[in-house]
Amino acid sequence: MSIIALVGNPNSGKTTLFNALTGSNQHIGNWPGVTVEKKEGKFKHKEKQYSVIDLPGTYSLGAYSEDELVARNFILSGASDVVINVVDATNIERNLYLTTQLLEMGVKVVVALNMMDEAKQKNIEIDVCALSKSLGIPVVATIASKNKGLEDLIEKAVEYASSGEQPRIDISYGEEIDREIDRVKGFLDSSKSDHPKWLAIKLLEGDEEIYKLVEKKFKLPEDLLASIKEKTPDYELEIVDKRYAFVGNIVSLAVKKPAREVETITDKLDKIVTHKYFGIPIFAIIMFIIFQLTFVIGQDLLGGYVAGFVEFIGENLVKLLELINSPEWLQSFVSEGIFGGIGTVFEFIPLIVVLYFFIGILEDTGYMARAAYVMDGLMRAIGLHGKTFISMIVGFGCNVPGIMATRTLDNKKDRMIALLINPFMSCGARLPIYLVFIAAFFPNNGALVLFLLYAFGIVMALIMGKIFSKVLFKEESSHFIMELPPYRLPIFKYVIRSMWDKVWDFLYRAGSIIFVVVALLWVLSVLPFGVEPYSQESILGRIGTILAPIFAPAGFGTWQATVSLFAGIAAKEAVVAILGMVYAGVSEGTELVLALQDVFTPLTAVSFLVMTLLYTPCAAVLGTVKRETNSVKWTIFMALYTFVLGWIVAVLIYQVGRLLGF
């Protein structure tokens, strides 16, 4: 099977092309850095199976960010038979810069000249044939979003991969640098590397990763290394300049574009949404409207049906079990364990579907990059990078991709802070907890309470970010550099697909981790034999009773709340599931709502909600933190500081609230 790698600038339509080729379930976001890991998909062409790897979008193949390294290392590994380089036809100079780097690496490249429709709108004329000739590789015009040119692209890529042709590119970096490259190359030429010239160029460009690699692999004389290090500062930019000059030459032959840009719809919209004063309020209003719509559509319109459906299934299943004289414990497990626990979680699916749908639209239109832009001023003021905000917004869906999105932050300090504060972004799994309490205590102000909770999470994230940037990390924050992609109409199919992916993930987790947690807790709740299930005498009740005093100062020191919070560390969905089991023991959400009204007050409900918002993130998030930081210390730190912070704030809310007479 042949392997095709997709490489391209962020926003070049690479992921759209990937989707169009493979029809796979993979997310496209219209902002830099959504593909944080390489994704794989498969397709068939003329009876042959092909595998496509979607590499992270990069501007260059340096070692500037983790994304670039992932892409570069994959290409260097030689795993792919051919590389499809997706080039944004509207921004051809910068995109071809990456192409030259690929060619210098000596890999087989086919250019997909994408977004030809947008280029046409901007009156950019490209002579595809001339471009192909001067680059010495196949170039195919495509419009990935409309499935145009893809057959041809695949045809050319497959043909080129199996041909004996090798890419040839010869950029002159000026006499002196060329001579240096040759000299360094002389020491590298051996059976140990396929791309000695590229390595030599990278060394002279001052690429630290390559430096380390070469040091390990080759025995270079000390004085050579020293002379490379000395010359790098002079050569570095010169090399980039010469590459651009090379690209400029090609472009001047093959591309005609108007001297001055006309004002586009994107420009007009940006005048409003990035406005000095209106920018932030517009962002806040958009988020508020999304929450409001989530309630109206997800709960009022759809919620009832799903609840009714779950109830119907639950009741009939139990009836069926009674009918076939199944053991009583099984009936109890099904009605209380499964439908009391997991069923409660399922009732919130419509809300989650609707919220994901709207966040997906925001992502795919390109508005997210503007949100990061308008927030940069505010973020700067507290010593954070504006891009941190993107990872925070992604975290609204789920903290796992949120934490992975911090990879787009280039320096370590910015990245660590963004990672540490991400769990305060209220993820989809915490939504059911809020909703159940809102239904019980604040039914008339649902959207407002929800909005305030999310906003409070953001505020806490910012405060902690400020503290971390002062206390933990002393380095300077890096500069804000970000592309603002043109607005695009979201492709409905992809928005739905990305939403479905997330919902499926939620269902999958509900069906696996949460099921296990719920089943385990059910067992603990009926043991030892003979006790009233879910009573304080059960093992579950006893454990909860021992730990409950921890939460007494926060006003919810009951064994039930305690057990649900600890189960929430496994998965946040488990919190509502456990509450459903221990308080109501029935399949209906409304009974849980009534039960909660008996044991919580509005004040303790608020302190409990704040605790669930802030305390230790779920196991999946901790696992991601471990993987991304490669540090057990930071993972434990994350688990503990969030717990302590959640506890302190919950206690403060309860105690101050009590003093004020709530």
- Residues engaged in binding another protein (CB under 8 A): 59-60, 62, 64, 90-91, 93-94, 97, 122, 124, 206, 233, 236-237, 240-241, 244, 257, 259-261, 266-267, 270-271, 274, 276, 369, 373-374, 376-377, 380, 386, 410, 478-486
| Nearest to another protein of 270, 336 (CB atom) | 270
- Of 371, 366, 367, 408, which is closest to residue 118 (Cα–Cα)? 366
Amino acid type, 82: V
Residue 626: phi and psi, rounded to 5, are -60, -45
| Nearest to another protein of 72, 108 (CB atom) | 72
Separation CA 650–CA 251 (nearest Å): 61
Q: At its nearest, how many Å lie between another protein and the CB of residue 200? A: 18
Q: At its nearest, how many Å lie between another protein and the CB of residue 410? A: 8
- Of 395, 397, 393, 403, which is closest to residue 357 (Cα–Cα)? 397
| Nearest to another protein of 206, 533 (CB atom) | 206
Torsion of CA 202, 204, 208, 210, to 10 degrees: 40
| Nearest to another protein of 25, 121 (CB atom) | 121
Q: At its nearest, how many Å lie between another protein and the CB of residue 73? A: 18
Q: At its nearest, how many Å lie between another protein and the CB of residue 65? A: 9
Are the C-beta atoms of residues 261 and 424 closer than 8 Å to each other? no
Separation CA 5–CA 18 (nearest Å): 10
Q: At its nearest, how many Å lie between another protein and the CB of residue 170? A: 20
| Nearest to another protein of 12, 560 (CB atom) | 12
| Nearest to another protein of 101, 193 (CB atom) | 101
Q: Is 125 exposed, middle or buried (0-12, 13-18, 19+ CB in 10 A)?
A: exposed
| Nearest to another protein of 62, 423 (CB atom) | 62
- Token pair recorded at residue 172: 């002159």
Distances (CA, A) of 404 to 229, 290, 348: 33, 24, 26
- Of 45, 51, 53, which is closest to residue 1 (Cα–Cα)? 51
| Nearest to another protein of 292, 478 (CB atom) | 478
| Nearest to another protein of 95, 426 (CB atom) | 95
- The DSSP output letter for 411 is S
- Token pair recorded at residue 440: 């019980």
- Strands (DSSP E) along 131-195, which ranges? 139-141
**Cα-based angle 463, 467, 472 (whole degrees, multiple of 5):** 145
Separation CA 146–CA 19 (nearest Å): 11
| Nearest to another protein of 30, 562 (CB atom) | 30
Torsion of CA 222, 227, 228, 233, to 10 degrees: 140
Q: At its nearest, how many Å lie between another protein and the CB of residue 390? A: 12
Q: At its nearest, how many Å lie between another protein and the CB of residue 110? A: 22
Q: At its nearest, how many Å lie between another protein and the CB of residue 310? A: 46
- Token pair recorded at residue 533: 């299930």
Are the C-beta atoms of residues 387 and 400 closer than 8 Å to each other? no
| Nearest to another protein of 227, 411 (CB atom) | 411
Give 586's Cβ-side CA count (13 Å radius): 13
Neighbours of 50 (CB within 10 A): 22
Q: At its nearest, how many Å lie between another protein and the CB of residue 479? A: 4
Are the C-beta atoms of residues 457 and 425 closer than 8 Å to each other? yes
| Nearest to another protein of 66, 81 (CB atom) | 66
Amino acid type, 561: A
- Of 195, 198, 199, 206, which is closest to residue 237 (Cα–Cα)? 206
| Nearest to another protein of 149, 366 (CB atom) | 366
Q: At its nearest, how many Å lie between another protein and the CB of residue 223? A: 23
**Cα-based angle 7, 13, 15 (whole degrees, multiple of 5):** 65
Q: At its nearest, how many Å lie between another protein and the CB of residue 370? A: 9
- Token pair recorded at residue 86: 């997706």
Separation CA 237–CA 206 (nearest Å): 10
| Nearest to another protein of 369, 639 (CB atom) | 369
Q: Which residue has the tokens 């039930």?
A: 560
Whether the upstream peptide bond of residue 528 has omega within 30° of 0, thus cis, is: yes
> Which residues are paired to 583 by β-bridges?
none
Distances (CA, A) of 21 to 4, 50, 89, 238: 11, 10, 19, 38
| Nearest to another protein of 484, 491 (CB atom) | 484
Give 204's Cβ-side CA count (13 Å radius): 23
Residue 139: phi and psi, rounded to 5, are -125, 130
